[in-house]
Amino acid sequence: MRLAILVADVNPNELNHEQVFESLKKANLSMVECAELTAATLQDVPTETAAYVKFACQRNWTEAEDVRLQKVYDAADFILNLGRPGPGEEGETRAHDRANMTAFDSSFKFFFTRPERFALRPDHVATTAVIGELGNELGMGRLINCVKENVEYGEDIGCNVPADLTLVATTANWGAWGLSAMLTLLSTAAGEKTSAESLLPDVLSQKLILKTLVEEGARCGLTWTRDEIIDRFESEENWKFLNELRQLTFSFLKSIQGQNSATGHRSHGERVGY
């Protein structure tokens, strides 16, 4: 499994993604920029390193960008949207407070709405997934009615574009940590050699990432303040959740490893039902 991150510039004069990624590197994240991403180049990226690819903003989009995005889609088996908003029933993309963000849309949304636009192989369809918390995230369309009924401004902000898989979380960060925990358990159950520590982050690493980003100018997405908080949750609440998740995950791991030992060694990649 290899990770690629796609980034679309909003306004090169206002948002410096290079600064963001350099900040993440300062926090000891292993990242490498790729001019373009193909199945071949992705195989050359170490599993512990995230590859990132930068694309032009929507108003500067060209056919050349379409070609680059086609190559990304061709290399991908699984596409995950982590928090990026998507269009609602009126075709407009809105933030949590109903602010219109349609001008910041990117062609990434077509991975969910028109995948055939990027398919270089007729038989290749990448699975799409979303981790959402408010319901305005691209891919949350299967829950649009629930969002309208239960979320503040849900009638206005709800995204009606569905993904194949929907993960709902208190915050996108918590959902991503939960997904990491699930991958940890599945890889162990399947006999993979990947260590749990390489998949499920620890509190110290996450503290360093948050601290570094805030020092470099990052702000909370809801309060817009430069504080070490995540979607209004104080940092200690986040670390408490992550610690509890790790404890639960490692408890399950011991159980899985005990079952593997009791039934004998399984070959690498052999499927196990859990």
Kindly report, residue by residue over 69-113, the tens digit of the pLDDT.
Answer: 899 999 889 999 998 999 999 999 999 999 999 988 888 899 999
At residue 229, the 3 state secondary structure works out as strand
Q: Which of 136, 144, 72 is nearest to 110 (CA)?
A: 72
How far is the CA of 106 from the CAs of 1, 139, 202, in angstroms? 25, 14, 32
Tens-digit pLDDT profile for residues 166-214: 999 999 999 999 999 998 888 888 877 766 666 788 899 899 888 888 8
For residues 269 and 95, give the distance between their C-alpha atoms in angstroms, rounded to a whole number: 42
Strands 229-230 and 233-234: antiparallel
CB 142 within 8 A of CB 206: no
Q: What is the pLDDT of residue 12?
A: 45
CB 42 within 8 A of CB 90: no
Q: Is the pLDDT of residue 15 over 80?
A: no
The DSSP code sequence of 50-115 is: EEEEEE--GGG--HHHHHHHHHHHHH-SEEEEES-B-B-TTS-BB-TT--B-GGG--GGGHHHH-G
- Of the ranges 30-39, 125-134, 254-263, which one carries the lowest mean pLDDT score? 254-263
